[in-house]
Amino acid sequence: MFTLSEENYLKAIYHLESGSEKGISTNAIAKSLETKASSATDMIKKLSEKEVVFYKKYQGVTLTDFGKKTAANIVRKHRLWEVFLVERLNFSWDEVHEVAEQLEHIKSPKLINQLDALLGFPTHDPHGDPIPDKDGNINAVDKILLANLTKNERGVCVGVHDSSSEFLRFLDKKGITLGKEITVLEKEDFDDSLLIEIDAEKLSISKKIANNLYIQK
């Protein structure tokens, strides 16, 4: 069994690993958990002792198969709870993260399986992120950033890269939600902004926004 702190480190390493081949650096872990590198080193040793990570001094860290499965299970719980909060308790997608950070640590296999069933076995959370199954497997969809679409291309908004409250509330304000169809009408060269069509309306989108919205063609 793992402590709350150990689980948070495992999850951080899991997220950092998806998106880089090499071992995850002590600094990267510390930054992601808003703690100090020395604390990360201490915890890495404990995790290595418990055989959820491979660790050689100065070489960074990688999850073992057991570690991957354990981490995926925490992510699974986090995302299922997010779905529950949005679908059943009327939370908006920018309010769920903090609460899910707590709920993901509740230990009860039956609870999470029944929750999964209650929600109809959802495949994605409110931010479009995939929900791992019981074995930790995720079926990845081929989504690309809106910024990478070319003129006149079209697709459905299926996820966000940045899931901060600020960004999510901004999207709400602009009427951009998951499931909506977006067409790129223009790409402005001098500021990299996009003119898009959504809900039969024209909307100008900055490069920053376009770099944080996932589209499925």
Which residues are near Mn ion by CB under 5 A? Answer: 82, 97, 100, 125, 127, 129
Binding flag, residue 110, a copy of itself (CB under 8 A):
yes
Q: Which of 115, 176, 182, 196 binds a copy of itself (CB under 8 A)?
A: 115
Write down the least CB distance from residue 74 to DNA, Å.
14
Binding flag, residue 3, a copy of itself (CB under 8 A):
no
Residue with tokens 């999964």: 116
Binding flag, residue 38, DNA (CB under 7 A):
yes
Binding flag, residue 120, a copy of itself (CB under 8 A):
no
Q: How far is CA 60 from CA 34, 36, 40, 148, in A?
A: 18, 15, 11, 32
Q: 98 or 201, CB closer to a copy of itself? A: 98
Binding segment for a copy of itself (CB under 8 A), chosen from 14-22, 46-54, 102-110, 189-197, is 102-110
Q: Which of 1, 21, 58, 117 binds DNA (CB under 7 A)?
A: 58
Residue 178 half-sphere exposure toward CB, CA atoms < 13 A: 16
Binding flag, residue 99, a copy of itself (CB under 8 A):
yes
The three-state (H, E, C) secondary structure of the chain, written as one string: CCCHHHHHHHHHHHHHHCCCCCCECHHHHHHHCCCCHHHHHHHHHHHHHCCCEEECCCCCEEECHHHHHHHHHHHHHHHHHHHHHHHHCCCCCCCHHHHHHHHCCCCCHHHHHHHHHHCCCCCECCCCCECCCCCCCCCCCCCEEHHHCCCCCEEEEEEECCCCHHHHHHHHHHCCCCCCEEEEEEECCCCCCEEEEECCEEEEECHHHHCCEEEEC
Write down the least CB distance from residue 151 to a copy of itself, Å.
43
One character per residue 13-32, x = contact with DNA (rule: CB under 7 A): ------------xxxx----
Residue 5, binding choice from DNA, a copy of itself, Mn ion, none, Cβ under 5 to 8 Å by partner class: DNA
Write down the least CB distance from residue 204 to a copy of itself, Å.
34
> Alpha-carbon distance 63 to 61, whole Å?
7
Write down the least CB distance from residue 12 to a copy of itself, Å.
21
Binding site for a copy of itself (CB under 8 A): 85, 88-91, 95, 98-99, 102-103, 106-108, 110-111, 114-115, 118
